[in-house]
Amino acid sequence: MTQTVPLIRAANVLPLIRWIEVNRLDADRYLERADLGYWFALSPFDPIPTHNGIAMLRELSRDHGPGVAAEIVNQASIAELGFIGRVALGARSPLEALHRLNAAMPMHSSHEILRLIVTDERITIHHAFAFSLDPESLHAVHVLLIAMLHQLFGFTGLRAPLFEQVDMVPHPDLGLSHLPPLFSDRLRPAEGAALTITMAANVAMNPFRVIARDRLANGNITGIAPLAEDRSLAASVRSVIAAMLHGGEPTIARIAGAGNISPRSLQRRLAEEGTSYSRQLDIVRRDLAMKHAADEGVSLADLSERLGYWVQSALTRAVRRLTGRTPSQLADRQGG
């Protein structure tokens, strides 16, 4: 059991949404099924619960086949592959891109582990999560990751098979039998929950035929805070509350679901940190009220909606309780 709610960047859902829309499916339906109905209100760098993002990928795999993640990646450009895609842009070779992805992982995800082993002859990639996932979900994620790496390595002009060996979690019903046409015949069932890919060193060092414009200032990502910078449960809960508030006040059950724990366990663990869910909800609302009250473009109706209140009278009472001022008084003070 993790100590905090696992988080990823909202941008990582974008390729899933694009695939859904291109295929004329109902994006809102899939977002609601994964409890991500607020996603369209977020910025690409906003955090969302990792479990919810994976749940959306799993639902797509159930409805459209366990190889759908490869279709999603093949349809997208590198720039559309979320935060990780943006980091890879501008690299001169797959190996350089892998080193950049390794350095960027804490900014991309709070509970993912990427490890590179580089020798003169071969390179090994290990990917794992710092929490447990069911085999069906892990398989969907592994298909997505392998497809992303295939697309990245494909920019060298080399033809498949690009990897010497791929150890991945099999689908619980289909195993790996549905995947060789998509990747290669070098797949093996992983003994654990990690994805392991081995390739010849010269494959990873082969230069890209075209160097893309670097979207992150030559790989400089130091200005982006790691998602697990504050390792308290309360901090991760606040991140989820802030996102979910776009759709109204979230229940403690939804927050607990985002962490894959029970509401009772969430309450107990917050109490061990000397706080509570209601206290964290108040902190998020207070901070948002202070942030937005001075923005001339934000009306009381907008502020009420952002803080998850359906009527403005509830907003006024809450802001007075949290800050000691009405929204109008707070805006006057901030503006002055």
What are 151-166's pLDDT values in tens digits? 888 888 888 788 999 9
C-alpha 249/C-alpha 74 separation (Å) is 37
How far does the chain reach from its first CA to its final CA, in angstroms? Answer: 47
Cβ atoms of 297 and 286 within 8 Å: the answer is no
Cβ atoms of 189 and 59 within 8 Å: the answer is no
137, 146, 136: which is closest to 183 by C-alpha? Answer: 146
Joined tokens for residue 186: 């070098």
C-alpha 319/C-alpha 7 separation (Å) is 28
Residue 331 is predicted with a pLDDT of: 57
Residue 336 is predicted with a pLDDT of: 45
Q: pLDDT tens digits, residue range 11-50?
A: 899 999 999 999 999 999 999 999 999 999 999 889 999 9
Q: How far is CA 10 from CA 34, 84, 216, 248, in A?
A: 13, 12, 17, 18
In this structure, what are the phi and psi dihedrals at residue 295, rounded to the nearest 5 degrees?
-80, 115
C-alpha 39/C-alpha 44 separation (Å) is 9
- H/E/C letters for each residue in 55-104? HHHHHHHHHHCCCHHHHHHHHCCHHHCHHHHHHHCCCCCHHHHHHHHHHH
Residue 218 is predicted with a pLDDT of: 47
C-alpha 43/C-alpha 214 separation (Å) is 20
Helix (H) or strand (E) holding 292: helix 277-292
Torsion sign across C-alpha atoms 110, 85, 75, 184: negative
Helix (H) or strand (E) holding 310: none
Place of tokens 């409890």: 35
List per-residue pLDDT tens for the chain, 336 residues long: 468 999 999 989 999 999 999 999 999 999 999 999 999 999 988 999 999 999 999 999 999 999 999 999 988 776 666 666 777 777 888 899 899 888 888 888 999 999 999 999 999 999 999 999 999 999 999 999 999 888 888 888 888 788 999 999 999 999 998 887 767 778 999 999 999 999 999 999 998 876 655 555 544 555 677 887 778 999 999 999 999 999 889 999 999 999 999 999 999 999 999 999 999 998 998 888 777 766 666 677 777 777 776 666 766 776 677 667 766 665 565 554
Give the up-direction half-sphere exposure of residue 64: CA atoms within 13 A in the CB hemisphere: 18
C-alpha 282/C-alpha 242 separation (Å) is 11
pTM over 0.85: yes
Integer-rounded Cα radius of gyration of the chain: 22
Could you tell me the domains of the chain?
7-205 (3.90.1520.10), 233-335 (1.10.10.60)
